[in-house]
Structure 1
Amino acid sequence: MEQNISHKRGPRACAIVLIAALLAMLISSAVGGVIATGGGAVRTEEITFTTDVGALSHAKLYIPVQASAENKLPAVLLCHGYTASLDAMEPNAIELSRRGYVVMALDLYGHGESALPPDGYRQAEMGNVENYAPDLGSYSALQELGKLEYVDAARIGMLGHSMGTAAIQEGAYLAYAKWQAAYTAAQTEAAAAGQDETAAAGAAYLAAMDAGIVLPSSMVLTGYNYNVRNVNDLTYNGVNAENGVFPLYAAPVNMCTIEGDYDEFSGLLWGVDDAARYTTSFKFACGTGGASNVPSGTYFLYGDAAATPLSRAEAVNAAASAAVTMQPIRAAYSFDGTHSDTYYDETAISYGIDFFDITLRGGEATIDPADQVWHGRAACGLIGLTATLTAFVALALTLLRLPFFATIVRPEAPSMSTVTGGKGALKYAALYLIFLLPAPLLYYWLIGYPYYMQPQWFKFLTKFMPNAFFNMAPMNSLMLFNCVVGAVFLALYLLVFFLIAKRAGFGLENTGLKLPAAQVLKSLLLAAVSFGGVYAVVYLCAACSGTHFAFFKFNIMPMDAAHWIAFFKYLPVWILFFLLAGVIYNSLTRINNAPAWVSYLLIAAVSCGGLAVLFAYDYGMLFATGVRGIQYIPGTTSAEWMSTIGMAFPTALAGIMCFGLLFILPISAVMSRVLCRKSGSVWLGGFLTAFIVLVFTISHMVISI
């Protein structure tokens, strides 16, 4: 009787959970949208434009309601990092726009909804090198921003994170190089017409200003070094203290750097392993005109090697007169955080706000930089993300009760694991630990440093280089990891099955795979309908509120056509891996004679336990010493490697990607268990978790080529 009541309550409970999850998605999206727009004080607008090299770029504008042609406001261009899109810059966008700045958040080339440039493009200022546009669209975005009737083109700033910081420096360089070219051409023409040097210079200045080239007057560089080139060939190759030159040194643009004390990329970017000492690097000296070992929060003039501190008032005056004196200000900031924390750290965000207040608004602060509200938007993102993940499963379980799909349901077979006594526990623990080992032992070997940004000509140690079919470097690394680790898991599982389980009387039905082909297809259809139904709500929420479900670096966001095409290319590998994972979770990790909650915990832990230990050691050492525990990809520090390649590759990018896996893997493992428990097979869980994990990883990833 109890079992029948429970069975009857099941569908109703699932429907209630589904309705609650969908309501949470809609409400959190709406509330998040209100917070993102300052309660109506800011309006948002999506725009697209064609860049100087023919690429279609996408951006989002945050426009304070007081902005108008009569009341022009200062503006800031925001550029995100490599494994992100414009939405990652939302905390900065919210805080700047509510303070009266017009904000443009840009999807850089190959990210979000921005395309890569068509083949054969060139930029004259970058040496006319074919297929080379390292500004990634930031130059054209700067020009678009400056043309808006409600923007004061004389007061525009640029803020980037990581790759975005490299991009905005290139975009600013392009702008100043084009301005200088217009100035030089006009000066030559005036001199040829017989004007004296002073008159020619004045005419040239007016002509250059009339050329309509928008120039930034302030830049905030976060999580990246000053772009220092080799003076011999103007590339980034072989740069050192003797041959390094900072291309923007002669531009009257005020700049600050913001670095986390535990930035994982410090060794690669600044040449200093301990990020807390980044101001001692030669690149910092190049970008500041000789300054070194500058205390955090110090304002000083470019070219002042002693970095004589300026008061805030002195910094305001110096910044305002930079175009006349040609001595812009520099500032260096440090905060207690990692590379990715720069996106979301209150202190880091307040530093950027204050620097823009100093350099774009004469020191006026409309709202205290420390007064921040973006946390509410982040909380809504977390609620919405949690609700979305819940809704996927709740919808599947609700539909599973329909007569058409109910035919896939069958009694769940016993697990291969029953633990009785000390010997049984020891045997189970040994197998459990063995299955934990492959992921952490192989992770850094296989993921490598999957940075491939074709317009920048940056191609690092990607173990599975992108190609015309598999065209996303980070996804290729994850696919390689899935394939190799999956093959090891399969071999281990077969050994356990044939050497232990089969001898004990267990068969194919115990794997959860035994299901007629027609029912397998029904499982696939149910997973697709459940995934598609909830994902449609994700699109609806984004369309209505202008926000998506994100918290920190965890998100499920709408995808454009290019990402959907990539989704289906990578999907088969994800399905195979998560089907195999489901078999291991439900037929081997689950313990027959243990409470259900114990099996859930064991399954969640086995999904990511090895990676969690690796991550804890790696970052534990970083926080304890300032240097990561596993700093370089195995094999790249050998003498043979260094003699041929010339550099060891850091594990920084792989470490950041691991953080996302530690979030989604245990969630998907629990999903797999719930769905297997209700359906009696691993097929539904394998299909649905593959869809969910893939969209979680692919929706914000860069399209490399």
Structure 2
Amino acid sequence: MLVSSIGASIVQTVGGAVKIHDMSWVTGSGKTMSALLLVPDGASADDKRPAIVLAHGWWNNKQMQDSNYVELARRGYVVLSIDMYGHASSDPLQEGHEMDAATGMYDGVKEIASLPYVDTTRIGISGHSNGARAANFAIPIDDKAATPLISSVYLVDNDPIYTDETGKYVNYYGDRDVGVQADQYDEFFFRSYDANGVALTAPRDYIGTPNAQSFLHFGADPSGQAARKPYTTYTQSVDGRDAVREIDNPAQTHPWGPFSKQEVTSLLTYFDKTLGAPTAIAPGSQIWQLKEGFNALGLVGFGMFLIAFATSLLGTRAFAGLRAGPAPALVPREGRGLLWFWGSLVVSAIVSGVSYWIISANTAVGTVSFLGDPPINPQGAVWIIALWAALNGLVAIVIMTVSYRVVGRRTGVSLRDIGVLPGWRRFWQGILLGAIVVASAFLIVFVLAYFFTTDFRLWVIAIPTFTPNKLAIAGIYLPFFLLYFLANSVAINSFNRFAIRGREWGNTAVLALANGIAPIILVIAQYSHFFITGELISGFGGINSIWLFPIVVILPVAAVVTRKIYRATGNPYIGGFIMACVVTIVSVSNTLTYTR
């Protein structure tokens, strides 16, 4: 983990040529905002630099923009990457107040404009998904300012504004330069709809739509106008200034945007045209992938630490009693036992996939997933996954109960011998050990973040620092995740541990795959259908498949972590408790928090 943080820090600071500050301040809106400020060497009151404010998408955090802020700062821009209100370390967001200060985007603009080394005539903004929506929200606020601050806008994976309240085409952005990245396989945006809200065009057909053409014609009605193309810069004099419009149209998906070399190249090219990069570096020359590699190494190290520290604590006097005795030789499972093994895996996978689909398709559940129900349920997205997890935990308990009565008890299996009934003393001692492991792991995250301003992440999987209020929020969802991960660990280790072809690792591999097979199938089905037809599977929302991306990794990893700890302790609850705590904390730290 130390190597990860040092390496990521060297890359994001370009070997010390860029200073990075983890900031938190009370804005003019009266809310606390958290952001990363990147200042390149040489920026001063005598050498003012263009500046760019970046905003992540919904249910994310400021580090999600690392590909962009690393490359922009490397080229001499001053960059502020914000946690939008409601996200990560910024204040929670009150329902219905998303437009206030553009969800924090405009407070970020005012902050960066106040810096003495920023050229206030060259301030740009960019956001991904609802971060781009925040950029759209910022425009009318800037229009009303005594001195407008925003001169350039780049919207990634969200529609620009095409019409006014009456439906008439309009130049919403005035004389500002505006670029758009419109993904051909965007799960949410770049469609045209009829009066009943039925989609008429797929995202891959966006460029030819009247909306896109009107945008490229600076808000004019596109009827009778010559068709304009993607990846082309169009200029027009607006209020005495030559303004720019362009649309980039890559064949990629919505969540791919912040993790795409093509997106970074387009953004760098656009801002070089409109703001002018102080340091000339080819847009395709990028190093952020090295940072991602080091960040990913930290993820691996974090998982290894959970196992290594848990097992090392068994050597202490306090936890020596948890160490398992010599394990009996594992034998292959045959006959009815083998049939129950494979049958239970199939049933569990079907229940997992079908239950997720049903939960995703429920309209009421969908509303809660976006808004939550604060204060009881302030994070709707986490609640959806927690509910699904708890349901599958209950199903696992039912399957294990039936399996024990039909097979286990008849073959002389003892629940005490396989760790299901370790005794209350050993149970609570194991929970204490797990709590120490989790606390120590996150302490390392905080210490390394303090010294290196880094965390551990890879695309949609992240282990960040968090504010104290997240622990209280975690307490709301932890019981749901405990129900799943404790039951899952018991199923994997107490009921389904045996040799396959004489090897335990084969059994572990099968169970790891089984843990994640339902989410894997759902993701493959969704995107196969999307790429073939241009649209998502009816009734299976895009956000629901995106939320499965980290789960595809987490569930197989959980099987390995709990198995390793079980082998050392014979106690399935230790690993299950550790995984439940880690997943809960990570979930509540990387998403949107609403208040009322």
TM normalised by structure 2 equals: 0.91
Larger Rg belongs to: 1
Trace 1:287-686 onto structure 2 (pairs within 5 A): 287-289=215-217, 305-307=225-227, 318=235, 322-325=238-241, 328-361=243-276, 366-411=280-325, 418-420=332-334, 425-447=338-360, 460=367, 462=369, 465-509=372-416, 512-592=419-499, 594-628=502-536, 630-633=537-540, 651-686=541-576
Counterpart of 1:48 (choices 21, 24, 28) is 24
Q: CA deviation at 1:307?
A: 4.9
Change (3 A) 1:117 1:311: closer
Q: Distance in 2 between matches of 1:391 and 1:567?
A: 22
Amino acid at match of 1:343: P
Q: Secondary structure at the match of 1:135?
A: helix
How far off is 1:632 after superposition? Answer: 2.2
Aligned partner of 1:275 in structure 2 is: 203
Is the Cα contact below 8 Å between 2:34 and 2:89 reproduced in 1? Answer: yes
**2: CA distance, partners of 1:416 / 1:654:** 40
| Cα pair 2:310 2:433 within 8 Å, conserved | yes
Report the CA distance shift for 1:417/1:478 in structure 2 as closer, same or farther (over 3 A): farther
Which residue number corresponds to residue 212 of structure 2? 284
Cα distance change on mapping 1:416 and 1:217 into 2, 3 Å: same
Q: Which residue of 2 aligns with 1:158?
A: 125
Quote the residue 1:28 is aligned against. Answer: 4
Number of corresponding residues: 589
- Which stretches in structure 2 are left out of the alignment for 5+ residues? 194-198
Q: Counterpart of 1:83 in 2: which secondary structure?
A: coil
Displacement of 1:151 = 0.7
Alpha-carbon distance in 2 for matches of 1:218, 1:226: 13
SS at 2:377's partner residue?
coil
Return the offset for 1:588.
Answer: 2.7
Q: Which amino acid aligns with 1:116?
A: P
Q: CA deviation at 1:291?
A: 8.1
Q: How far is the alpha carbon of 1:393 from its aligned partner?
A: 1.2
**Separation in 2, partners of 1:483, 1:230:** 45
CA displacement, residues 172-191 of structure 1 (integer Å, 9 cap, x when unaligned)? 22111x13xxxxxxxxxxxx
CA shift for structure 1 position 335: 1.6
The whole-number CA distance in structure 1 between the counterparts of 2:585 and 2:334 is 41
Deviations 1:268-292 (A, max 9, x none): 7985663222223454345444789
Contact 1:273 1:627 in 2 (8 A): no
SS in structure 1 at match of 2:85:
coil
Q: Determine if contact 1:260/1:336 at 8 Å carries over to the other structure.
A: yes
Name the CA shift for 1:287/1:561 in 2 (closer, same or farther; >3 Å). Answer: farther
Deviation at 1:415, TM superposition (A): 11
Instruction: Label 1:684 to 1:93 Cα distance change in 2 as closer, same or farther (>3 A).
Output: same
Distance 1:228 1:400, change over 3 A: farther
Question: CA offsets, 1:443-475, max 9 Å, x none?
Answer: 1322459999xxxxxx84639943203211111
**Separation in structure 1 between the aligned mates of residue 61 and residue 410 of structure 2, nearest angstrom:** 52
- Return the alpha-carbon distance in structure 2 between the equivalents of residues 132 and 332 of structure 1: 25
Query: How many angstroms does 1:539 deviate by?
Result: 0.7
Deviating beyond 6 angstroms after TM superposition, the runs of 4 or more aligned structure 1 residues are: 267-270, 301-304, 309-312, 412-417, 449-452
Q: Aligned letter for 1:372? A: Q
Alpha carbons 1:262, 1:338 under 8 Å: kept = yes
Describe the SS at the equivalent of 2:553.
helix
Code of the residue aligned with 1:399 in structure 2: it is L
Q: In structure 2, what is the Cα distance between the partners aligned to 1:485 and 1:67?
A: 54
How far apart are residue 310 of structure 1 and its match? 11
Deviation of residue 590 (structure 1)? 2.0
Extract unaligned runs of 5+ from structure 1: 1-24, 120-128, 180-210, 233-242, 293-300, 453-458, 634-650
Moved more, 487-496 or 74-83: 487-496
Tell me how far apart the structure 2 counterparts of residues 478 and 275 of structure 1 sit (CA, whole Å).
28
**Any conservation in 2 of the 1:46–1:61 contact (CA below 8 Å)?**
yes
| Post-superposition offset of 1:414 | 7.7
Q: Are residues 693 and 117 of structure 1, via their aligned partners in 2, closer, same or farther at CA, if it must alter by over 3 Å?
A: closer
1:260-313 deviation line (CA, Å, top 9, x unaligned):
322222377985663222223454345444789xxxxxxxx999942557998x
SS at match of 1:368: coil
1:600-633 deviations in Å (ceiling 9; x for gaps): 11220121112212222222222334333x3423
- Find the counterpart in structure 2 of residue 456 from structure 1: none
The question of whether the paired residues in 1 share the 8 Å contact of 2:490 and 2:573 is answered with no
Matched, 1:77 2:44: no
Q: Could you tell me how far apart the structure 2 residues matched to 1:309 and 1:503 are?
A: 72
- Residues 566, 304 of structure 1: alpha-carbon distance in 2 compared, 3 angstrom cutoff: farther
Partner amino acid, structure 2, of 1:439 = S
For residues 426 and 399 of structure 1, the distance between their equivalents in structure 2, rounded to whole angstroms, comes to 38
Does the aligned pair in 1 maintain the 2:157–2:183 contact within 8 Å?
yes
Counterpart CA distance in 2 for 1:372 and 1:287 is 30
Contact 1:258 1:333 in 2 (8 A): yes
Q: 1:286 to 1:565 in 2, by over 3 A?
A: farther
**Aligned mates of 1:539, 1:449 — CA distance in 2:** 38
Deviates further, 406-415 or 32-41 = 406-415
Deviations 1:133-180 (A, max 9, x none): 27101111111111211111111111110010001110122111x13x
Q: Distance in 1 between matches of 2:223 and 2:121?
A: 24
Check 1:65–1:464 CA distance in 2 against 1; reply closer, same or farther (3 A cut).
Answer: closer
- What does residue 150 of structure 2 align with? 216
RMSD in angstroms over aligned alpha carbons?
A: 3.1
- In 1, are the aligned partners of 2:332 and 2:499 still within 8 Å (CA)? yes
Aligned-partner residue type, residue 226 of structure 1: P
